[in-house]
Structure 1
């Protein structure tokens, strides 16, 4: 049972948590809580928003689907419904996450944004501070993901633009920009990666093929195979302004975390000329558009910043070198000890 000490004077309420404190009620946080519960270990999830999987519910576009087959995306101990399609929709994935939490009776503490988490060496506990409470536990699990905060670049003149400018975290549908000239800034997961792979090869998931081959073949050989098939099915993307790096897609993912895009239609739009790729990036935003590194200047009605996200963990997690040595914190997002 969790015990509470009510606020005394100006001191904030303290809550002792018998098991681990999990920060984040996304898929990773729910999965950890379910696995702990399956082993009779209690836990408490703190979530800054008012819902489960807030990134999916609040910051994704309407027509989003999983880009990997559902068997690679299901959470432990409770799979997707059999009637779900191979690539579940956004709404289906959210309903699955909600059913998952209900199945394991997981009840996060919503609207609890962690402001500071620090290990108390004297008492051997973590002190996790939110806006209205201090939670105390021997264990802390960080499950906030790598996409907690929108990343907005510093571009000269960005404040002068008189049209509509949004980050992809607020983008919902292309219908909002019908008949407009739109500039999409960014080559990340929200826009277009440099490595382009088909979502499926020979009728099978590209990701599934890669994972199967890696069991038997060296990583670089698998990368060469993927690029050979991609070149055969998609053509030379360099001619479209999408130059592939020298490092293969899986090796690049392992080294930098940059995930190759699994094409679901954007490439055909580029080939048709409906989407134009401008190499070199944006030099300056003007009142009516943008100037590019290659000297071009164009007018746009709207700008969408597909510049990705970043983790907010460094803002609130205070970890000393001695804490790292004691391995009291586990970052399940990257599956490594901090």
Structure 2
């Protein structure tokens, strides 16, 4: 008689939670996914919603704004061959993909929508996890719990003197739904990240005046370079070379990759010094801004780059760091988020032990550090508690968190093992030392990881077989000898996620269609390139 499958509660059904439900259920776990909203997809599911005033948040410390979607124009910053959608898809296209994904794997029967979780703790009698539902107060018991609520939980707002004097609109980018309601207004967008870039450029043509306020620069990367999505240059061979360089000569790797990003930027745009985009923070601890029209609008004057906001000095007057006063009718903060684990028993909150060194570093920006092994497993309860969606580095987030949940499934199934607690603790201490050092140099996300080490670990733990089948060992030579066409497509073609389901390793399940899809995406891109060259010749 086979043992009864373990029950798992997955809290949060954004894209990462959905992948976690799929990967765990695929390995035989009995999974229930909980989502506070009546729909899946998180920020990718556009809703009109109610816009939350920053002043409303300030007036009541206990106020928690509703979890709404991003803007209608929200766009993925990676091309389709990573995400099975059109090049750089908009939110509605991402949602169509997520709905298709859920239906293809028949995941909906496992979902409980419009069911917010109030509290999660250990049940002392059964030693199971007690999940208390918000509306009914019902307590459900599970063998295991995965927290997949993501890093975009509670909007962060800077403390700015004189905010009560301002009579215009103040809101966070999460509550920005589109440019139409700002027509004819003067708007300042605060923060130079992908959200700030997207928000500010979307306002052009609607707002009377658009300012982009920032204290830190950034590399600006176009979505297309030489007619191709910029990420198509990142083949698996190049990624492996980059990984080797980062592990062997990290100082040299940092120089090389920063110069590479600067080179793409300078070939694509004419960046003027007065915009204060340079110096840009290192890619070692910061991601570039992917934007096509940002520089164009700065050049035309439709968008004005200004320094950081120092003080609100009147009903429509804002003092910036340079001493200049600008007149605006609305302020949109693109200043990031805090992770929210308020529904967790504080004993299991991974941010509760955020180290003082990190907290006191300006680069942390008041966001606590997560104490998790490889940003997934806590030191305690790692056999039944995990976190998915809390890994950050310049790379495809969907792919990253899919790998994270694959690795989680293999650990909990017993196909992969975590090291002894002492080794995990040493790894956590080393990571803490490393990330605090980065935060001492500039703004660093608390979920930031060292990409080469994390990818090595997650591929081995998930059982993708990449290192063994693409390396210099027996399996690698056999693959090269027996199927050179596929080998070249995998190593030098488009680095698509199909490769993670290609090789049989005895761990995660393979996908019989992986080979065909790898061939297809490369043939599609080659055909597109040939058509483009033919058009140029004509």
Where does structure 1 differ by over 6 angstroms across 4 or more consecutive aligned residues? none
Structure 1: segments with no counterpart, 5+ residues? 1-16, 74-79, 254-258
Equivalent residue number for residue 161 of structure 1:
166
**C-alpha distance in 1, partners of 2:192/2:378?**
37
SS in 1 for 2:13: coil
2:265 aligned with 1:227:
no
Q: Identify the residue that residue 256 of structure 1 maps to in structure 2.
A: none
Shift of 1:285: 5.3
Say whether the 8 Å CA contact 2:186–2:328 is kept in structure 1: yes
In the alignment, does 2:33 pair up with 1:45?
yes
Unpaired runs of 5+ residues, structure 2, are: 48-68, 198-216, 246-252, 354-376, 392-403, 409-427, 429-538
Task: Give the corresponding residue for 2:361.
Answer: none
Query: How far apart are 1:121 and its partner, in Å?
Result: 6.2
- 2:389 alignment partner, one of 326, 333, 336: 333
Report if aligned partners of 1:143, 1:333 keep a CA contact under 8 Å in 2.
Answer: yes
Is this contact kept in 1: 2:119–2:344, CA < 8 A? yes
Alignment of 1:202 onto 2:237: no
Greater share of helix = 2
1:234-249, aligned counterparts within 5 Å? 234-236=269-271, 238-247=273-282, 249=283
CA distance in 2, matches of 1:210, 1:284: 44
**1:240 positional shift:** 1.4
Q: CA deviation at 1:46?
A: 0.8
**1:114–1:316 Cα contact (<8 Å) kept:** no
Deviation of the 1:323 alpha carbon: 6.5
Q: Cα distance, 1:194 vs. partner? A: 2.2
Q: Which residue of structure 2 lines up, in the alignment, with residue 214 of structure 1?
A: 239
State whether residues 23 and 29 of structure 1, in contact with CA within 8 Å, keep that contact through their aligned partners in structure 2.
yes
Q: TM-score, normalised by structure 2?
A: 0.52
Distance 1:187 1:285 in 2: 23
Counterpart-to-counterpart distance in 1, 2:150 and 2:99: 18
Asked if structure 1 preserves the Cα contact closer than 8 Å seen for 2:270 and 2:295, the reply is no
| 8 A Cα contact 1:61 1:172, kept in partner | yes
- Correspondent of 2:20 among 28, 32, 43: 32
Match of 1:307 in 2: 335
- 1:149 corresponds in structure 2 to 154
Q: Relative to structure 1, is the Cα distance of residues 103 and 209 closer, same or farther in structure 2, using a 3 angstrom cutoff?
A: same
In the alignment, what sits opposite 1:116? 119
For the Cα contact (< 8 Å) 2:162–2:313, is it kept in 1? yes
Q: Is the 8 A contact 1:214 1:222 kept in 2?
A: no
Superposed CA deviations along residues 136-185 of structure 1, whole A, max 9, x for unmatched, are 21211111111122222222222332122222222122222122111112
Q: Deviations over 1:45-96 (max 9, x none)?
A: 11111110131223221223322112223xxxxxx3xxx5222222121122
After superposition, residues 118-197 of structure 1 pair within 5 angstroms as: 118-120=121-123, 123-131=126-134, 132=136, 133-192=138-197, 194-197=218-221
Moved more, 196-205 or 88-97: 196-205
Q: Tell me, in whole angstroms, the C-alpha distance in 2 between the residues paired with 1:286 and 1:186.
A: 22
Contact 2:309 2:318 in 1 (8 A): no
Deviates more, 1:110-119 or 1:138-147: 110-119
Relative contact order (alpha carbons < 8 A, sep ≥ 6): 1 or 2 greater? 1
Deviation at 1:235, TM superposition (A): 3.1
Task: Determine helix, strand or coil for the equivalent of 2:196.
Answer: coil
Using the alignment, how far apart are the partners of 2:232 and 2:124 within structure 1? 45
2:151–2:337 contact (8 Å) kept in structure 1 = yes
Residue of 274, 284, 299 corresponding to 1:271: 299
Q: Give the 3 Å change call, closer, same or farther, for CA 275–71 of structure 1 in structure 2.
A: same
Any idea what the Cα deviations from partners look like across 1:86-126, whole Å, max 9, x if unmatched? 22222121122122222222232122222222234664322
Contact 1:20 1:138 in 2 (8 A): yes
Task: Give the aligned length.
Answer: 306
Greater CA drift, 28-37 or 103-112: 103-112
Normalized against structure 1, the TM-score is what?
0.81
